Amino acid sequence: MSELLDLNLVEASKALKNKEISSLELTKAYLKSISDTSSLGAYLEIVEDKAISMAKESDKKLIDGTARPLEGIPIGIKDMFCTKDIKTTASSKILENFIPTYESTVTQNLWNDGAVILGKLSCDEFAMGSSNETAAKGNVINPWLKNKKMSPGGSSGGSAAAVAARSALAATGTDTGGSIRQPAAFCGITGLKPTYGRCSRWGIVAFSSSLDQAGPLTRTVSDAALMLNSMAGYDQKDSTSANLKMPDLMDYLDKGIKGKKIGIPKEYTQDGISEDIVKFYEKSIDWLRDEGAEIIPVSLPHTKYALPAYYIIAPAEASSNLARYDGVRYGARQEASSLDEMYELTRGNGFGDEVKRRIMIGTYVLSSGYYDAYYLKAQKVRRLIKEDFENVYKKVDYILTPSTPTTSFELGKKQDPLTMYLNDIFTVPASLAGLPGISLPVGLDKSGLPIGIQLIANSFDEPGLISTARVLEMSAGFNFIADGAAK
């Protein structure tokens, strides 16, 4: 089994198409791995019968020569994506028995390209959190250290943990303010947030509609490229979907970066960053310089306002989006003697503390008398942050930053909400500007925990982002396997 689990997505796809392995044996190896690593709590729902059925169908196509790009590849799906006839809960009590009658566009694209579903992966409730501790069914454990219960990050913590634990060959995630990139950094894998609009949001449980974006979590940059090829695409059902053809990202893996200009923003080297992360950030700069890139200091002056603006905009949109969970149309319902009491009991019992906190913040900033002072001002700040990036991209091609200020932290050590929000300090600006970003592992800190470095590109420049990330990946040579991964 270990030989099958050792293959990354691109390698597994090649082995399948060369008929060296079958999808059925690969899928069964991953189903066993899910069982072996079940103590991590990454999966909320395992669909063994469906996985085996899809794998058998893929094997037929592999034999008759009609194989599709992801034929026979077993993957996990974050529980924010609606999956037809498979429970979709957004890790919330209020949706604990919700079974969609339709498929999200992104997952349908993956099935159309031959991928095999293993199950649904845990996340912070309604994608609100940075540690996976707000999930209704309990936190997910980062597989990296066996002797300590470390956070996998959030909100796509289950997706990141599953890929790092080798209980999924790849996984989908959603990124609103860093929810793909931060967990990828914590779990020593690659996490790619595409440009806003590159992947359809249709059928994804909404958190913050102007920020949410689907993306892949994988072992390598080339795996992420292959996944995003299938996930992305224009969708008429999503009014924010970009009607732009996605180039084949696999064609850009070996382009190199000779002559490219890499911006190093001074605002991302503030106090509070771990020494180990600073060390590997400096190494990453050297690696890119050695590969022929020009390193240019830049400034993004409104960066310090990104987190405050985000924590006004995202909760405001969340309070609006989550108003639909009222016990009337779908989801859990608490019976009561009046309609108002039913609303109160349903939402009071159905939502967790972090979701309630964000709904209350969002409702407050949208309320009469505060809309202009908070929400409107935050949107103006967002525009200034976007302009900062636009000005910098006149001078450089890509921006290099740390992914997170620290490596993973221990679970169960109660952190105040503000400290938790600061985990996203380096990922939020790109989200507010709608830009593509990727986090990839470049080394380990003194505790043996992974360190992630982030690259940010201009809008819709995923091809260039992939080629630059690939160069950094090759230079770093990160080939460690998590202690708690299936062997």
pLDDT tens-place string over residues 75-86: 999 999 999 999
Q: Which pLDDT tens digit goes with each residue over 320-366?
A: 999 999 888 878 888 888 988 988 888 988 899 999 999 999 999 99
> Exposed (0-12), middle (13-18) or buried (19+): which is 379, by Cβ within 10 Å?
middle
Q: Which residues contact 177 (CB under 8 A, 6 or more apart)?
A: 211, 310, 314, 424, 427, 428, 431
How far apart CA 269 and CA 277 sit, in angstroms, is 10
The backbone torsions φ and ψ at residue 455, rounded to the nearest 5 degrees and listed phi first, read -115, 135
Res. 222: pLDDT tops 90: yes
The average confidence (pLDDT) of the chain is 95
Identify whether the C-beta of residue 231 lies closer than 8 Å to the C-beta of residue 266: no
Res. 423: pLDDT tops 90: no
Q: Which pLDDT tens digit goes with each residue over 145-174?
A: 988 999 999 999 999 999 999 999 999 999
Banded pLDDT at 368 (limits 50, 70, 90): confident
How far apart CA 421 and CA 207 sit, in angstroms, is 16
Q: Which residues contact 340 (CB under 8 A, 6 or more apart)?
A: none
Q: Which pLDDT tens digit goes with each residue over 44-99?
A: 999 999 999 999 999 999 999 999 999 999 999 999 999 999 999 999 999 999 99
Q: Which residues of 429-456 are buried (b: 16+ CB within 10 A; e: fewer)?
A: bbbbbbbbbbbbbbbbbeeebbbbbbbb
Rounded to 10°, the helix 377-392/306-321 angle is: 130
Q: Are strands 261-265 and 43-46 parallel, antiparallel or unpaired?
A: unpaired
Per the DSSP assignment, residues forming a β-bridge with 74 are 116
Identify whether the C-beta of residue 362 lies closer than 8 Å to the C-beta of residue 317: yes
Task: Provide the whole-model pTM.
Answer: 0.96
Q: Which pLDDT tens digit goes with each residue over 231-286?
A: 999 999 999 999 999 999 999 999 999 999 999 999 988 777 999 999 999 999 99
Identify whether the C-beta of residue 118 lies closer than 8 Å to the C-beta of residue 46: yes
Res. 421: pLDDT tops 80: no
How far apart CA 264 and CA 281 sit, in angstroms, is 10
How far apart CA 82 and CA 104 sit, in angstroms, is 5
Nearest in space to 230 (alpha carbons), one of 384, 61, 112, 367: 112
Lookup: tokens for 104:
């999200």
- pLDDT computed for residue 1 by the predictor: 64
The DSSP code for 300 is -
Catalytically active residues, by annotation = 78, 155, 179
Q: Which pLDDT tens digit goes with each residue over 10-44?
A: 999 999 999 999 999 999 999 999 999 999 999 99
Q: Which pLDDT tens digit goes with each residue over 382-418?
A: 999 999 999 999 999 999 999 999 999 999 876 667 6
- pLDDT computed for residue 412 by the predictor: 83
Lookup: tokens for 199:
């992947």
Lookup: tokens for 220:
């390598």
Return the beta strands (E) in 222-289 as ranges.
261-265
Res. 419: pLDDT tops 80: no
Banded pLDDT at 460 (limits 50, 70, 90): very high
Tell me the percentage of the chain whose pLDDT exceeds 70: 98
- pLDDT computed for residue 311 by the predictor: 93
How far apart CA 140 and CA 150 sit, in angstroms, is 9
